[in-house]
Structure 1
């Protein structure tokens, strides 16, 4: 397949629909001690024995810190409409209250280069790399961190204003809060039920505090938040309650406060011993209107109750899986988007801000033939189109990821990129999935001229 095929009447063919690629700062930048940057919680976590596969870290990663110019050229040459990146908080505020002009200049150059090539810029303020100096004071377990995030949002948006086309406050607060502070498999590696829910509330509070600041400083930009979500399905009809609760804790817990001004009752009831302190006015702040909601989708869950009444996920061995072991289930993306559309009144437009597949990719004779990923994108683009046909307002799609990178606790063994990276030479090679993406976008632009 040398190009993704969209139906002639597909809404994805409309010129206003945004196609892009996505990355995040810690996963690609490297340069952790350069340009005035100080340590993040991921720099610290990577040095804990056994925390990351192979003892990998983001010290160099894809060396985007030095190679950003060629990377922006590569992005533009793909023909995408937009580039979704994140800003490293400790590169902007390396110490509490101290501004780093070098950090602002680094991102200024990237933003300018994107705009010079006609590429819109979607910026995430928090993609998990909390400054270590804030973690030393409790990190997201400390309510003050929400206010520190608002200060950071003030600095970034005051400098860039409307130069950033779309602002995202948080990326995947579920992962940052639950994997980082509840289950301990991500930075900062804290394990505790109560801690996970407390961190999640403080993150959402930080989002709420930042929204009016962003609107004031960038009145012509769009402002929102990105959630990861997996639809859940019951193994048997008697497991429907398990699937419902899986969705409630998996993404309603994070989306409901933003879009409904309340936490889901079933989670509050089931986790009553672990509920955070919610002060008067918190939910009013958190539920400030957003211009869009980003959805990151990779797979689904199939759930059942075990003999103890606990909810467990059930593997689907007969299904196709990616290299990371996640089931490929494109129908889940359609179902998820329709369920969200039905759940929330006055839902703002949505973007698919991440979607992709990890592969055991090898460079052979100058090529990476990633057939599974190519099929994955084809079927998931069709799934987005199907959701739009059912009335869901979706305005863009971002492939995860632009290039192979540091995949958090999996280190460098999982390759999500549509561009292959040789970590020894830093050579970039477009995989067949990237070539198909480029060809589709080229054909689409020709049709819309």
Structure 2
């Protein structure tokens, strides 16, 4: 059924009373449209799926990542193109999610669409995202928003991106616009998705370990993008100097939390982190050093600014005296070429909760697998790990499976299927997999 696009905000909220129970302690005045939960009513656990704007929407032509995908040379296997055409087919995706019996929907908004030129905000883009949020609520899904999921406006990258401290203020202005437009209907918001991911993936005592040819192509790609923008530089969230990027992102997060809290609505705001189960191997291993460098600065940031930590876990890492080790001989590897190890989630939840002192949402967890039976197995073992973490006392308030759809996986294009739902690359027809039904069954059993 096609929803009434003139649906009022109050009507949209009528079936979403769970949102009021999710407000963090000390939040500002209650949103005008959200009813309070009954006295003593516990906040409902959020069971959902995750998507990300650039990876599913298609046609994000104003973003820095789109440009990097299309310049020559490029390190991207293929361009995102139309992706899953979720920009137009979001009702179908929300419908699939609701039909699975879930109650939450993690979605992204794209900065490049909302602010296509510096200081020029698109009301049409904000209206589009409002329609998605309203339809999610109509279908009984609590919207959980991500404001930045790797992609930024290309004009920002041409001005130095997050290597320039002024970008923190630009991000805060963007967050303020998004919060004003959507805040009264949100169940939660993530300021940044995995700002530590490059550091996590490439961590070693000596830093990056890329061969000369790869570095040459990488640098040529950035130079080509800069020329395309008429600039002498091009710095993105993922591809820049981490020592310069991270202080700006941290300040942007803090300012973003303030901006969102100043707007309408009472909802938790946090940051999501790429987290692996770091297992030390051998005497003198560097597992604790790795955690202190890759995770703890961000967990301390989350403790000071925001209401929760979003844990995003896929596997473990073995860490020896010189840094990361390869998976053990004979270990099963996923289609993303890391170890199949769903049990990692138990350790990362416990660690994040202990260090930050904050509630936890599992904002991403899943597996790249061509054989869907392996996804079914991963779901079962990961949800068992989640249950153990909660039983041990971790304050976990939601779980979002990555991902609803087989979507664009950045450098690797469409070669790594993470979805519960297959997407035909030509027709965009969605086909739920057996793993979608298994996830729905596990959620029903957990309630």
TM-score interval for Structure 1 and Structure 2 normalised by the shorter chain: 0.7 to 0.9
Given the superposition, is the C-alpha separation of residues 428 and 336 from structure 1 closer, same or farther in structure 2, using an over 3 Å criterion?
same
Q: 1:431 to 1:298 in 2, by over 3 A?
A: same
Confirm whether residue 336 of structure 1 aligns to residue 348 of structure 2: yes
2:63 to 28, 34, 40: 40
Identify the residue that residue 362 of structure 2 maps to in structure 1. Answer: 352
CA offset digits 1:127-167 (Å, max 9, x no partner): 01111101111001010111100000011111122212211
Structure-1-length-normalised TM-score: 0.79
Contact 1:178–1:196 (CA<8 Å) still a contact in 2?
Answer: no
Superposed CA RMSD in Å reads 2.5
Q: 1:191 offset after TM fit, Å?
A: 12
Partner of 1:304: 320
1:216 correspondence with 2:262:
yes
For the 8 Å contact 1:352–1:397, the answer to whether it is kept is yes
Q: 2:384 aligns with which of 378, 382, 405?
A: 382
**Residue 218 of structure 1: CA displacement?**
3.1
Task: After superposition, give the CA deviation of every residue in 1:409-432 in whole Å (9 maximum; x if it has no partner).
Answer: 111111100101111111111111
Determine whether 1:156 maps to 2:156.
no
**Equivalent residues, number:** 381
CA contact (8 A) 2:362 2:399 kept: yes
Gaps of 5+ in 1: 1-13, 34-38, 260-286, 362-369
Pair 1:30 & 2:58 matched: yes
C-alpha distance in structure 2 between counterparts of 1:66 and 1:222, whole Å: 28
Q: CA deviation at 1:179?
A: 7.5
Residue in structure 1 matching 2:339, options 321, 327, 330: 327
Aligned counterpart for 1:204 among listed residues 227, 241, 250: 250
Contact 1:154 1:213 (C-alpha < 8 Å) held by counterparts: yes
Report the alpha carbon displacement of residue 233 of structure 1 after superposing the two structures with TM. Answer: 1.3
Residue 49 and residue 303 in structure 1: after superposition, are their counterparts in 2 closer, same or farther (change >3 A)? farther
Query: In structure 2, do the counterparts of structure 1 residues 178 and 391 end up closer, same or farther at CA, with 3 Å as the change threshold?
Result: closer
TM-score (norm 2): 0.80
Residue 191 of structure 2: which of 153, 169, 175 is its match?
169
1:397 to 393, 399, 412: 399
Please list, as runs of the form range in 1=range in 2, the aligned pairs for 1:50-199 lying within 5 A after superposition: 51-54=74-77, 56-175=78-197, 195-199=241-245
CA spacing shift, 1:156–1:192, aligned 2, 3 Å: closer
Q: CA deviation at 1:106?
A: 1.1
Q: List per-residue Cα deviations over 1:25-44 (Å, max 9, x = no partner).
A: 000001335xxxxx111011
State the shift of 1:408 in Å. 0.7
Distance across 2 between alignment mates of 1:443 and 1:191: 39
Using the TM superposition, give the Cα deviation of residue 116 of structure 1 relative to its aligned residue in structure 2, in angstroms.
Answer: 0.5
